[in-house]
Chain A
Amino acid sequence: MTAYLLKRLAISLATLVLASIVVFAVLEILPGDPARLMLGMNASADQVELLRNQMGLNQPLLLRYLHWAGGLLSLDFGRSYTYSVPVIDLVRERLAVSLPLALIALALSTIIAIPVGLFSASRRGRAGDTISMGAAQLGVAVPNFWFALMLIYVFAVWLRLVPAGGFPGWSAGISPALKSLLLPAVALALPQAAILARVTRSALIEVLNEDYIRTARAKGLPYRTVLWRHALRNAMIPVLTILGLQFAFLLAGTIIIENVFYLPGLGRLVFQAITQRDLIVVESVVMLLVAAVIAVNLVVDLSYAVVDPRLRSRQ
């Protein structure tokens, strides 16, 4: 088990270093001079050159990479060109919205998907299965902003239970903050839950054909008990894989939902930074996301080992 853990950890670190090189290199090659952008089209070449020197853009590539990577390690991401504040402050502010949003959406998606998957798999081919999988198909096909608009219409405009958009900040208290995240979380969770339910169903159906399910039934356990005790855990590996991917998506891929609900999240920050060539912000957020994805994958890998004892002893 220790060997498995250390190996996974080493792979994660190597991936992180590699990713940082790629991110740095790609943004270097991209057209667009940040100094020129900051100063505007009318600035003279001398002014641009001066700013480039100030920003350290004229130093050798390797040195700049090391400087940047070293900064990342000490959480010093540099200053945003456009906002003129430390990037870390921007990111921290945005994460306070995006991270809870992603976690709530992920939890909702899991809570909806796994019971639906279980229900569907246990009634394979019957009406209940057809209906819930039809609904899941719809959930995958319909874009989440449409869900968002419907939710706003029903719960904010019509029932007036929650605000239609905006984020009051955590300083306004936990309850109003959570309230304003609820609809976006549901809108994000529904399509994810639909995907996850389908994955859960197909993984379960495969497991239900295994011989050990018959062995468990021959012990006298009712079908439902067999489903929960024997089938579900064996079907977890593909489900965990999808969960890991979904978390990464929910952290950064939420720009449309953020726009629909006027949420100051990470997605909007990146979008703005890209349009304004604010490379430092883009680099930092991308690296942060890379780190988050790698960390989530590490957790997923470790949870495989928790679920399946064969992985524990093989490595």
Chain B
Amino acid sequence: MSLLEIDSLSLTIGDTQILKGMELSVAPGEVMGLVGESGSGKSMTALTAMRLLPHAARATGRVTFDGIDILAATEDQMCALRGDDIGMVFQEPMTALNPVKTIGEQVAEGIRWHTKVTRAAAEERARQMLDRVGLPQAKFPLSRYPHELSGGQRQRVVIAIACALKPKLLIADEPTTALDVVLQAQILGLLRDLVAESRMGLLLISHDLAVVTEMADRITILRRGEVMEAGDTARTLSEQLHPYTRQLAQASMHVPARARTHDTSQGKPLIQVEGVTRDYPGRRSSLLKRAAPIRAVDDVSLSMQPGQSVALVGRSGCGKSTLARMILALDRPSSGTIRFRGETITGKSEVELKPARRDMQVVFQDPYGSFDPRQKVEKLVAEPLHVLEKKPTRAERREMVAHALHEVGLDQRDMDKYPHEFSGGQRQRLSIARAIITRPKLVVADEPVSALDVSIRAQILDLFAELNQKLGIAYLFITHDLTVARAITDEVLVMHDGKIVERGKTTEVLDHPQSEAAQALVAAAPDLHRAIARKMQEQG
């Protein structure tokens, strides 16, 4: 018998149809993977099961949990279910915990509420649960506050809260999307163990097909609120009968076609980084004392040729973004020098940096946050033009913007629109247009596709490859996602604890990693081919 049974569920918020005839079931001890692109209704399905929908939402159909009709249950009945029989883990660990309460209070709170035990007994159980999720007493006493923990540790606390009372069903909505691959593998392992220990049902929601394939027994593929295909993971993904399933799978494994026309072995290097170190002052421990400085980047040297595409990979906090900021002359090294086209850029004033700034641009991760919502596209894309020698006239400026938009596959009429009129993928095209408008020699892209859906991601990767080919722009991709590195770069630099621990041709490093850090990254990276093969063995 199913634990959670969703039957012809339809959901509207205002006039918008979110779900249409949704079907899904989770049995005890089973992992059900729910896959879909953003806006397909995955999270709303989860919130319906918890009945934590926004006020304006109207649900029809049938949702039963353990024999209880969820849509008809009273709020009191739901409060009794939530946190006790159904636990939920959310996407963003940095904001999922109350910043003013200790982790002990937050884990014990649900235990006390549901079981009415004393504070001491609840704290004892909270302690055991935190131990279980890998936060031992010695390093993580109950009195810790969330801000004292890293993202991965916070997600463990969230899991401890959700699993504290051994729920029958755990709903995990993108539980690892905000984490780097090594942490992702750890958290997924923890979830898998918790499911096995107590025959918990797990509804795992993700946009990442590889993650779901590794974890799920069965899979449901959702598109625009409708179920496209559902069934055993191995069969569904190996046969790929439904065109949308095939499209998703292909997009996840997409590698842009790139002809290696750039001779990268000789000639004057574009970027030379020599012995660069960056220290940040330590936290002030009292009025006069400071902790030892934190070394974010430690004696790093590297060089890049014009037109070369390089990936800088590493776990979060390894110093890769700091290094990139120094290359862009947005931060100053504590020691060492950085040369751009042979000219030293370290220690230069803004005026002296202007010629260099023309030739280096940046693309950020979040296409939503990197535009001023009150300005038109024309102005946003034209932003870097102020570094030009001669200020372009208005007509020239419009011409340049139109050209840049055309190059990234947007229409030139788009320049009179505002950012909110574009989808996530289109916005990332806008940020690329903004980056290439000055015809730079180097574009630094910080996780440029990690916020995008797989099909859009494939298109953006194609665009990067095409622009590299056509305009000869060199790329420095900062990423923890090895599939991006594999898809689009010639060379990989692996960074760990501020140092570059391995470098070489992309395929060589990824296929035969030598350093421990690189091996850990490769082993943890979800891979759809591998995952399908493994599932085929398990499920016959």
Identify which of A2, A3, A219 contacts B113 (C-beta below 8 A).
A219
User: In the complex the two chains form, is B79's CB within 8 Å of A212's CB?
Assistant: no
Within B86-100, which residues are at the interface with A (CB < 8 Å)? 87-88, 90, 92, 95-100
User: In the complex the two chains form, is B88's CB within 8 Å of A218's CB?
Assistant: yes
Q: Is A173 an interface residue (CB 8 A)?
A: no
Q: Is B84 an interface residue (CB 8 A)?
A: yes
CB neighbours (8 Å) of B81 from chain A are: 220
Given A211-B90, A221-B79, does the pair A216, B287 have CB atoms closer than 8 Å?
A: no
Within A278-315, which residues are at the interface with B (CB < 8 Å)? 307-310, 313, 315
User: In the complex the two chains form, is A307's CB within 8 Å of B100's CB?
Assistant: yes
User: In the complex the two chains form, is A234's CB within 8 Å of B99's CB?
Assistant: yes
Query: Interface residue tally of chain A, by bracket?
Result: 20 to 34
User: In the complex the two chains form, is B286's CB within 8 Å of A221's CB?
Assistant: no
Given A3-B286, A7-B287, does the pair A218, B99 have CB atoms closer than 8 Å?
A: no
Given A3-B284, A221-B79, does the pair A215, B84 have CB atoms closer than 8 Å?
A: no
Within A176-228, which residues are at the interface with B (CB < 8 Å)? 210-212, 214-222
CB neighbours (8 Å) of A230 from chain B are: 98, 101
User: In the complex the two chains form, is A310's CB within 8 Å of B145's CB?
Assistant: yes
Given A218-B50, A219-B161, does the pair A234, B100 have CB atoms closer than 8 Å?
A: yes
User: In the complex the two chains form, is A218's CB within 8 Å of B82's CB?
Assistant: yes
Closest A residue to B80 using CB positions = A220
Q: Is B413 an interface residue (CB 8 A)?
A: no
User: In the complex the two chains form, is B287's CB within 8 Å of A220's CB?
Assistant: no
CB neighbours (8 Å) of A313 from chain B are: 145, 147-148
Q: Is A64 an interface residue (CB 8 A)?
A: no
Q: Is B162 an interface residue (CB 8 A)?
A: yes
User: In the complex the two chains form, is A219's CB within 8 Å of B83's CB?
Assistant: yes
How many angstroms between the C-alpha atoms of A216 and B52 in the bound complex? 11
CB distance from B140 to the nearest CB of A (A): 15
User: In the complex the two chains form, is B96's CB within 8 Å of A211's CB?
Assistant: yes
User: In the complex the two chains form, is A211's CB within 8 Å of B92's CB?
Assistant: yes
Per-residue A-contact encoding for B59-79, CB less than 8 Å = 1, 0 else: 000000000000000011001
User: In the complex the two chains form, is A219's CB within 8 Å of B109's CB?
Assistant: yes
How many angstroms between the C-alpha atoms of A129 and B97 in the bound complex? 28
Given A230-B98, A310-B99, does the pair A220, B114 have CB atoms closer than 8 Å?
A: yes
User: In the complex the two chains form, is B82's CB within 8 Å of A215's CB?
Assistant: no
How many angstroms between the C-alpha atoms of A309 and B162 in the bound complex? 24
How many angstroms between the C-alpha atoms of A6 and B82 in the bound complex? 45
How many angstroms between the C-alpha atoms of A234 and B106 in the bound complex? 14
CB distance from A232 to the nearest CB of B (A): 10
Identify which of B106, B114, B145 contacts A309 (C-beta below 8 A).
B145
Identify which of A3, A6, A212, A217 contacts B99 (C-beta below 8 A).
A212
Within A79-126, which residues are at the interface with B (CB < 8 Å)? none
User: In the complex the two chains form, is A308's CB within 8 Å of B284's CB?
Assistant: no
Identify which of A7, A218, A233, A234 contacts B83 (C-beta below 8 A).
A218
Q: Is B151 an interface residue (CB 8 A)?
A: no
Given A212-B97, A234-B99, A309-B100, does the pair A218, B284 have CB atoms closer than 8 Å?
A: no
Per-residue A-contact encoding for B89-124, CB less than 8 Å = 1, 0 else: 010100111111110001001100110000000000
How many angstroms between the C-alpha atoms of A310 and B149 in the bound complex? 12
Closest B residue to A5 using CB positions = B287
CB distance from A2 to the nearest CB of B (A): 7
CB neighbours (8 Å) of B79 from chain A are: 220-222
How many angstroms between the C-alpha atoms of A211 and B90 in the bound complex? 8
Closest A residue to B95 using CB positions = A211
User: In the complex the two chains form, is B100's CB within 8 Å of A215's CB?
Assistant: no
Identify which of B82, B98, B284 contacts A234 (C-beta below 8 A).
B98
CB distance from B101 to the nearest CB of A (A): 8
How many angstroms between the C-alpha atoms of A191 and B161 in the bound complex? 43
Identify which of A6, A210, A211 contacts B287 (C-beta below 8 A).
A6
User: In the complex the two chains form, is A221's CB within 8 Å of B109's CB?
Assistant: yes
CB neighbours (8 Å) of A310 from chain B are: 99, 145, 147
CB neighbours (8 Å) of A220 from chain B are: 79-84, 110, 113-114
CB neighbours (8 Å) of B84 from chain A are: 220
CB distance from B303 to the nearest CB of A (A): 39
CB neighbours (8 Å) of B76 from chain A are: 222
Q: Is B327 an interface residue (CB 8 A)?
A: no
Most interface-central of A3, A216, A219, A315 (chain B CB within 10 A): A219
How many angstroms between the C-alpha atoms of A7 and B284 in the bound complex? 12
CB distance from A206 to the nearest CB of B (A): 13
Closest B residue to A7 using CB positions = B287
Q: Is B27 an interface residue (CB 8 A)?
A: no
How many angstroms between the C-alpha atoms of A313 and B100 in the bound complex? 12
How many angstroms between the C-alpha atoms of A222 and B113 in the bound complex? 10
CB neighbours (8 Å) of B405 from chain A are: none
Given A3-B287, A7-B287, A211-B90, does the pair A309, B75 have CB atoms closer than 8 Å?
A: no
CB distance from B202 to the nearest CB of A (A): 15
Using CB atoms and an 8 Å cutoff, list the residues of chain B in contact with chain A: 50, 52, 75-76, 79-84, 87-88, 90, 92, 95-102, 106, 109-110, 113-114, 145, 147-148, 158, 161-162, 284-287
Q: Which 8 A-B pairs have the closest CB atoms?
A: A220-B83, A219-B110, A219-B83, A220-B82, A211-B95, A218-B88, A212-B98, A309-B145
12 A-B pairs whose Cβ atoms sit less than 8 Å apart in the complex: A2-B287, A211-B95, A211-B96, A214-B52, A219-B82, A220-B80, A220-B84, A234-B100, A309-B102, A309-B145, A310-B145, A310-B147
Using CB atoms and an 8 Å cutoff, list the residues of chain A in contact with chain B: 2-3, 6-7, 210-212, 214-222, 229-230, 233-234, 307-310, 313, 315
What would 13 more interface pairs be, CB under 8 Å, given A214-B52, A218-B162? A3-B286, A212-B96, A212-B97, A215-B158, A218-B52, A218-B82, A220-B84, A220-B110, A221-B113, A309-B145, A309-B147, A310-B99, A310-B145
